[in-house]
Chains A and B, each alone.
Chain A
Amino acid sequence: MDINCLSFLEKTAEKFPAKIAVSCKNKCLTFNQLTIYSKYLSRVIPSNKRNSPVAIFLPKSCDTLVAFTAVLYSGNFYAPIDVKTPISRLQHILKSLDPFLIITNTSLISKFSDISDCSILDIDEVDFTYINKCEVDNWTHVIDTDPVYCMHTSGSTGNPKGVLIPHKAVIDYIEWTVQNYQIDSSNKIANQVPFHFDISTLDIFLMFYTGATLHIVPESLFSFPVRLIEYLEKHEITFIFWVPSALSKVSNLKCLKSGNLPNLKFVLFCGEVMPTKCLNYWLNYLPNTIFSNLYGPTETTVASTFYTIDRVFSDSEHLPIGFPCRNTEILLLDQKNQLIKSGEIGEICIRGTGLALAYWRDKNKTEESFIQNPTHTNYPDLIYKTGDLARLNDNRELVFIGRKDTQIKHLGHRIELGEIETALNSLIEIMSCCVLYEHSQIICILESKVKTLNDNSLKNKLLELLPKYMVPSRFHQIDEMPLNQNGKIDRVQLKSLVNDGKY
């Protein structure tokens, strides 16, 4: 096993120095340039710091990857922050993260004019033009239990938490992916997921590990799915790991044609529930492509379970989240942290190498979510309680049911709101939906191409899929589903709109 994530980048750079590592718009970097520029930049980082956070506040670009890598070469860890973060949230993150350095660029630096207790580096001021050799050795002291990054997740309470991930978690996850999907240097990866979202970890470190080329897809293309397909074809993309809503943009507008995307071998998705209707659309056009549904919270490094589609699902069926990844075990626990009986629904609790070190500087939350494995007391052995619910189906595959906090009791029945959403998502007229439970009513907020959906016809269609007590009593159609910072449906905002009587 490699000692840290840079050891495999070093090997790759030695093997493929002139190969393109990353390409973004009109700029690209070879593996040789990526390592040398990063080492050069790392020398600007104060050398008295070790295992300390550096905030990266940059739009997605080749420079961002140089910044991440430079931080690792300096023996520290990086914390990517969304450049669109509202100022109050940004202040909250910086206060709790307490970085000793912020790396940003000329157009964003003014956001930090009030900051006095930390250094700020403008990456545009660094001239890499004539650098062709640079050696540093701080990184060789980094061991696999040291942190590689701190990723901020939006907690359901609204306050972001910093999740601290060690090198060994990333190494193990990448090695598993390479083996499981047989990824080699000939691959071309198209990155969709923002770098402040942990799913992007796979894109970046898969490039480090295998020597595959990473293409950063311009964000604007996701507004124009026809152009997005052209981009994927032009760059002969073979591998994508996207959130389902990005894949839905293509299926909602039905812009695939037969013979499209002949090079695309792998479509992996994670981060939210994939509407089966959308998957079936893609499968229909790409019957020879491998589609894989992954599941996992940021706290356990990208993904903890996977299911590679191996049979046909109807639009109204749930896709399984499948089986644990390498060096991972899933325990399904009840309210008292006891193992549930076979077939029952339990909370997904994860143990294995993927576990985060902690929530950054939040002992209470760490102790609440990372607990001793309740099945034994022989030695310290932590599990992460996800707050997500699942059960095993007849094939012994895990099936995601929903969030613990979206499980409700209505008219005496225990109902998982996610199950209603799955039923709605299977209907052709629904583009996106969110089901809430407020004032003893099941309320559905939905987005549809059909301008005036009839509530009664929707109810009748749902009655074919769900028991009567699960059918929403109210439907509210909106133009556009609000999304949170991670691109997921913003339940908190929808909830407050319902409570304010807006919907």
Chain B
Amino acid sequence: MMENIKEILKEVRSDADFNSSENFIEDELLDSLDIIKLISLIDNTFEISIEAEDIVPENFISINTINNLISKYLL
């Protein structure tokens, strides 16, 4: 799943270096349009539908937090 997330992030922003960032939001790697695209790609890839309550910055800080978020829906 981590690889899937990496690929999705690459599709959202091919020019950004997600590996060397410890906080995607604070480092401004993801702007408001990127978040929309990211959520839509996650929804499609994992066939889930992320709820508004979960669309908060803490869930999009790193590959790990995104992974935890998706896992919650896949249970």
Q: Are the CB atoms of B55 and A225 closer together than 8 Å? A: yes
Query: Provided the pairs A253-B55, A254-B52 are in contact, do residues A223 and B31 lie with their beta carbons within 8 angstroms?
Result: yes
Q: Are the CB atoms of B52 and A479 closer together than 8 Å? A: no
Q: Are the CB atoms of B25 and A220 closer together than 8 Å? A: yes
- Of the candidates B30, B40, B49, the one whose C-beta lies within 8 Å of that of A223 is B30
Q: Which residue of B lies closest to A230 (CB)?
A: B56
Q: Are the CB atoms of B52 and A223 closer together than 8 Å? A: no
In the complex, chain B residues whose CB is within 8 Å of the CB of A479? 37, 40-41
Q: Are the CB atoms of B32 and A253 closer together than 8 Å? A: no
In the complex, chain A residues whose CB is within 8 Å of the CB of B43? 451
In the complex, chain B residues whose CB is within 8 Å of the CB of A219? 31-32
A196-252 residues with Cβ-Cβ distance < 8 A to B are: 219-220, 222-227
Interface size of B by Cβ–Cβ distance < 8 Å?
A: 19
Interface membership of A480, Cβ < 8 A: yes
Interface membership of A463, Cβ < 8 A: no
Q: Are the CB atoms of B53 and A223 closer together than 8 Å? A: no
Q: Is the interface of B mostly helix, strand, loop or mixed?
A: helix
Q: Are the CB atoms of B33 and A227 closer together than 8 Å? A: no
Q: Are the CB atoms of A222 and B32 closer together than 8 Å? A: yes
CA distance A224 to B53 in the complex (A): 9
Contact with A along B7-42 (1 / 0, CB 8 A): 000000000000000000100001111111100110
Q: Are the CB atoms of B55 and A220 closer together than 8 Å? A: no
Contact with B along A380-419 (1 / 0, CB 8 A): 0000000000000000000000000000000000000000
CA distance A222 to B32 in the complex (A): 6
CA distance A224 to B52 in the complex (A): 8
- Output the least CB separation between B65 and chain A (Å): 13
Q: Are the CB atoms of A224 and B35 closer together than 8 Å? A: yes
In the complex, chain A residues whose CB is within 8 Å of the CB of B33? 480, 483
- Of the candidates A224, A449, A480, the one whose C-beta lies within 8 Å of that of B55 is A224
In the complex, chain B residues whose CB is within 8 Å of the CB of A226? 52-53, 55-56
Q: Which residue of B lies closest to A478 (CB)?
A: B40
CA distance A223 to B12 in the complex (A): 14
CA distance A451 to B49 in the complex (A): 10
- Output the least CB separation between A434 and chain B (Å): 16
Q: Are the CB atoms of B57 and A227 closer together than 8 Å? A: yes
CA distance A338 to B49 in the complex (A): 54
CA distance A449 to B52 in the complex (A): 13
Q: Are the CB atoms of B52 and A480 closer together than 8 Å? A: no
Q: Are the CB atoms of B35 and A480 closer together than 8 Å? A: no
In the complex, chain B residues whose CB is within 8 Å of the CB of A223? 30-32, 34-36, 55, 57
Q: Which residue of B lies closest to A449 (CB)?
A: B49
Q: Are the CB atoms of B56 and A227 closer together than 8 Å? A: yes
Chain A: interface size category: 10 to 19
CA distance A399 to B49 in the complex (A): 37
- Output the least CB separation between A263 and chain B (Å): 22
Interface membership of A453, Cβ < 8 A: no
CA distance A480 to B57 in the complex (A): 20
A337-364 residues with Cβ-Cβ distance < 8 A to B are: none
- Output the least CB separation between B51 and chain A (Å): 8
Interface membership of A44, Cβ < 8 A: no
Interface membership of A427, Cβ < 8 A: no
CA distance A144 to B40 in the complex (A): 50
CA distance A149 to B55 in the complex (A): 38
Query: Provided the pairs A226-B53, A253-B52 are in contact, do residues A220 and B40 lie with their beta carbons within 8 angstroms?
Result: no
Contact with B along A73-110 (1 / 0, CB 8 A): 00000000000000000000000000000000000000
Interface membership of A126, Cβ < 8 A: no
In the complex, chain A residues whose CB is within 8 Å of the CB of B35? 223-224
CA distance A206 to B61 in the complex (A): 37
In the complex, chain B residues whose CB is within 8 Å of the CB of A253? 52, 55
- Output the least CB separation between A408 and chain B (Å): 29
Interface membership of A255, Cβ < 8 A: yes
CA distance A219 to B43 in the complex (A): 24
In the complex, chain A residues whose CB is within 8 Å of the CB of B55? 223-226, 253
- Output the least CB separation between B27 and chain A (Å): 11
- Output the least CB separation between A161 and chain B (Å): 25
A180-194 residues with Cβ-Cβ distance < 8 A to B are: none
CA distance A227 to B41 in the complex (A): 22
Query: Provided the pairs A253-B52, A480-B40 are in contact, do residues A224 and B31 lie with their beta carbons within 8 angstroms?
Result: no
CA distance A255 to B36 in the complex (A): 15
- Output the least CB separation between B24 and chain A (Å): 11
Q: Lowest 9 A-B CB distances belong to which pairs? A: A253-B52, A223-B35, A223-B32, A255-B52, A479-B40, A222-B32, A480-B37, A224-B56, A224-B55
Chain A to chain B contacts (Cβ below 8 Å), 23 pairs = A219-B31, A220-B25, A222-B32, A223-B30, A223-B31, A223-B32, A223-B34, A223-B55, A224-B35, A225-B52, A226-B52, A226-B56, A227-B56, A253-B52, A255-B53, A449-B49, A451-B43, A451-B44, A479-B37, A479-B40, A480-B36, A480-B40, A483-B33
Chain A residues with CB under 8 Å of chain B are: 219-220, 222-227, 253-255, 449, 451, 479-480, 483
A sample of 10 more A-B contacts (CB under 8 A), given A220-B57, A226-B53, A227-B57, is A219-B31, A223-B30, A223-B36, A224-B55, A227-B56, A253-B52, A255-B53, A451-B44, A480-B36, A480-B37
